[in-house]
Amino acid sequence: MIRSLTLLAVMIVLGIPTAIVSIPWAMLTGNALPLYNLSQLIVRIGYRLIGVRIVATGQQNVPAQTACIFMANHISNLDPPALLPRIPGRTSAFLKKSLMKVPVFGTALRLGEFIPVSRDGSAAGAQESVAAARRVLQKGLHITTFVEGTRSPDGRMLAFKKGPFYLAMQTGAPCIPVSIYGTEALMAKGSNRIRAGIAHIVFHPPIYPASYASREELMAAVRAGIASGLPEWMRN
């Protein structure tokens, strides 16, 4: 628990002055980039202090000056803070709608144009999220999504949600499969304890939706891409 509390302390101690300065700046100027960059820096500092080392490879596969959809597997609460700072450029992401209601943090997420997702499973909610993501891509920002929709309880890949693939087929944005492994041993699902160690993030070459006749074919290609970078036992 010491590492978990240390990480929380870093987020609070560094996050408060960052919020005080960067949130008003973003509101006044419409420029959320300083807020985004400082937030990612805080996460990097926090992970370093608790002994969580992230080894990221394959960033050269990400097309330059192109808004992409990053599609990753999900095995731990450590995944989003580990992944987002390693994505070249600025990214938005799908996240639980309830996070938008958290004081200050929710304001920062809205300014960063993160996309709330309703967990009620309604078609209207899904369409609203996809439409918001399309607008973000048109602005030149990336989208990041954990395509299983929830954390795997044992590290093995789960079935994918369809929403991100509707988005990809509608926009034609390149899909970047991302493999994450190692975080499942550093912070397991249902646990608040963080262990020191190494986590791996692998960015694969882009997959272009226009090359596939259907959403299902695109989904299969992305799944194969993510699986190719995972240990064999996780490829279920």
| CATH code of the domain containing 129 | 3.40.1130.10
Q: What's the mean pLDDT when you consider all of the chain? A: 92
Residue 26 lies in a domain: no
Is position 27 within any domain?
no
| 120 pLDDT tier (thresholds 50, 70, 90) | low
Identify whether 128 is part of a domain: yes
Q: What's the CA gap between 227 and 4, in Å, rounded? A: 29
In a domain, 31, yes or no: no
Q: What mean pLDDT comes out for the span 60-84?
A: 95
Percent of the chain topping pLDDT 90: 77
Q: What pLDDT, in 10s, does the model give residues 7-34?
A: 989 999 999 999 999 999 999 999 999 9
Of 155, 175, 164, the closest CA to residue 230 belongs to 155
Rounded to two decimals, the pTM is 0.93
| AA identity, residue 147 | V
- What are 229's two structure tokens? 């970078």
Over residues 55-77, the mean pLDDT reads 95
For the chain, the domain total comes to 1
222 located within any domain: yes
What's the rounded mean pLDDT across residues 181-200? 92
pLDDT at 94: 87
Domain that holds residue 146: 53-234
Q: CA geometry: angle at 184 spanning 110 and 224, to 5°?
A: 80
Residue 136 in any domain: the answer is yes
User: In the structure, what pLDDT confidence band is assigned to residue 104 with cuts at 50, 70 and 90?
Assistant: confident
- Assigned domain for 102 exists: yes
- Has residue 68 got a pLDDT over 90? yes
Domain presence at residue 169 = yes
pLDDT of 123 reads: 67
pLDDT greater than 80 at residue 138: yes
Q: Is the pLDDT of residue 235 over 80?
A: yes
CB atoms within 10 A of CB 49: 13
Please provide residue 58's backbone torsions phi and psi, each rounded to the nearest 5 degrees. 90, 10
